[in-house]
Structure 1
Amino acid sequence: MSVQKLIYLYSDSSFTPWKENIFASTVATFLKSTPDEYYPYITHFVGFTNEFADFLKQFDMVFNVCYGFGEAGQADIARWLDSHDIQHTASPYTVQILAKDKSNLPQICASINLKTPAIVSLSEVANLPYERYIVKHRMGSLHLNMLVFDASEIPYQTLLEKEDYIIQPYITGREFTVAVIPNEEGTDYIALSPLEIRPDDEREVYIAGQSYGVTEKILNPALEESTKQEIMQKVLALHKSMKIRGMSRTDIRIHHGEIYILDINTMPNLDTRSFLPSIAQNEGIDLKELFRRILLVTKRAVSYERRAVSYQL
């Protein structure tokens, strides 16, 4: 079997809009995890030029771990790659931008009978029966620049100064994140066991990360098997309905026995300290095997897309 040329395309955290957790050391780990049938290269994203596109076209596949460049986000990178017909592992622009815009989530979830917190306007907040609300950047990273406030203390001035945000009722309860990856044959997708995001105390308000206090990652959390399977089935259905390529990671909360979708990430970070690699490793799937599956399913998807285009022509 001939060895194919694979190149890892990335931007260092300092160059990405939301300062995602990716560094040269991260990509060095990727190089070591490259499947045997590929010969790996690496490049930093250098700009939206035809010369750079021609350079990338020399490779059989681009492993896209580029989360943005300057003010351009990961979806913009995907759109540029798509426009130059460059094969890459991330979802197409249309899929990424659909997921990135959090105002789309209620409609997406409703189409497959899933629950998600409603989106409300500032003028409605004082008249609705919710005790607490959360404010999110509409197009940004879920866990950054968020604000939680009580209905009795609405920060009107702060909200009037914000731009491009959404307001939702704050859903209390246990929070989990669920990874979806290709199956071993690269012919379908599977959901992995949930990882729980738990506050380090008994507080009701918490957000993954440190912005509202410390949270902990709990692998193999205590869950009824029926609840665990329901979570995995619903997240898998969401992944498939959106036609996400390669992998995804979805955050959910269980509130009074109901599962609520909070956010879906079409390009989860693959640093070994991040959620998705930790979840996969916990199930015996190391980075090398994960990369093999992602590359396999990408080749199948790209081949199918190109056959479909040829048929239409």
Structure 2
Amino acid sequence: MKKNIAIIMGGYSSEYEISLKSGQVVYDSLDASKYNAFKIHIFKEKWVYVDGANAEFPIDKNDFSVTINHAKITFDCVFNAIHGSPGEDGFMQAYFKLLNMPHTSCDMYQAALTFNKRDCLSVLKPYGIKTAESFYLNFGDAIDENAIIAKVGLPCFVKANKAGSSFGVTKVHKKEDLKNAISVAFKEDDEIIIESFLDGTEVSVGVFNYNGETKVLPITEIVSENDFFDYEAKYLGKSQEITPARITKEEETKVNAIAKKVYEVLKMTGFSRSEYIFKNGEPHLLEVNTVPGLTKASIFPQQAKAAGISLEALFGNAIETSLKNHTLNVSKRGKL
């Protein structure tokens, strides 16, 4: 019997358009002989199922069901394709946990932690994970430019703490540009992180559970035509994404081991894509994404292809893994 799969997409952040594209790729790629796929748009003003004719049917938030032609439809699993809030910061994960409904992303704690760049890096540092030098600001804090530059140097990156797709990120070369960059970041979030510039090769590493084992995908090297890997570079073709990365075997071994360690230390499930820059031959972690882009231009699908994994197999594995984990968790609770 085919399973009903709700593909949630959209969201409340600046990343909603990318999320809609990711969700559509998932919808188009699922094996129709195994799954009935439903596109669910999640926005602040509405949660709706959107059918093939673009007709909208409201989601009953009490049990995450939808009624179509007087027939109530429930879902066996949720495929999470929401980048940013509320799909990548723990809110949807908490909601589905309350409903006891399986979903393809990580648990709520891991989502909330990794979405907060400052907290995530702080948790990982005791495990020997190298990171850039950083300075934190909250909205309303006094801005001491001299203290910031003394800590992180120039150039530096000013980032919104809880945002993705490089929204709210500015590379600052001069002291007089710092306040404007901080203002840009605060438009995305009320917390920001200012990091030292790491001059080296940037790579992206995908990790997920595949057939019961933690699998590290082929590494992608990022070569941006812009000053850094910004929104244009990520989504508008202003970069080269080279898979496999042009790094030494030693560098590959190091970053693979660290990416796997990060995934396992954080007790991750679902997809993970972490970004690193090599400095003096050592990978330095920039951030961890738990709902990576799944569009055809996105890195994670490119890496899966390089590993010989089709989108149909990639997404099907995510669903079957979440269903299996859910069954195991239910069984464990029953034995307590």
TM-score (norm 2): 0.79
Gaps of 5+ in 1: none
8 Å contact from structure 1 (residues 247, 267) kept in 2: yes
Stretch of structure 1 that moved more, 26-35 or 130-139: 26-35
Structure with the higher fraction of residues in strand conformation: 2
The alpha-carbon distance between structure 1 residues 277 and 158, as it changes in their structure 2 partners (threshold 3 A), is: closer
The alpha-carbon distance between structure 1 residues 171 and 87, as it changes in their structure 2 partners (threshold 3 A), is: same
* Residues 129-278 of structure 1 aligned to structure 2 (within 5 Å): 130-141=153-164, 143-150=166-173, 152-153=175-176, 155-156=178-179, 159=182, 162=186, 163-183=190-210, 186-200=211-225, 205-210=227-232, 214-278=238-302
Match for 1:134: what amino acid? F
Computed over aligned residues only, the root mean square deviation of the Cα atoms, in angstroms, reads 2.9
Match for 2:15: what amino acid? W
2:318 counterpart SS class: helix
The equivalent of 1:307 in structure 2 is: 331
The equivalent of 2:30 in structure 1 is: 34
Q: What is the alpha-carbon distance in structure 2 between the residues aligned to residue 146 and residue 79 of structure 1? A: 28
How far did 1:32 drift?
4.4
Q: What is the alpha-carbon distance in structure 1 between the residues aligned to residue 119 and residue 152 of structure 2? A: 23
8 Å contact from structure 1 (residues 208, 215) kept in 2: no
The equivalent of 2:94 in structure 1 is: 79
8 Å contact from structure 1 (residues 10, 67) kept in 2: no
The equivalent of 1:19 in structure 2 is: 16
Give the total of aligned pairs.
301
8 Å contact from structure 1 (residues 195, 221) kept in 2: yes
8 Å contact from structure 2 (residues 172, 181) kept in 1: no
The alpha-carbon distance between structure 1 residues 86 and 118, as it changes in their structure 2 partners (threshold 3 A), is: same
8 Å contact from structure 1 (residues 9, 65) kept in 2: yes
The equivalent of 1:288 in structure 2 is: 312
The alpha-carbon distance between structure 1 residues 6 and 259, as it changes in their structure 2 partners (threshold 3 A), is: same
The equivalent of 1:4 in structure 2 is: 2
Gaps of 5+ in 2: 48-58, 67-71, 137-142
Identity in percent = 17
Q: Deviations over 1:53-106 (max 9, x none)?
A: 2449822222222346xx745432222222211111111221101100011133
Q: What is the alpha-carbon distance in structure 2 between the residues aligned to residue 112 and residue 261 of structure 1? A: 12
The equivalent of 2:69 in structure 1 is: none
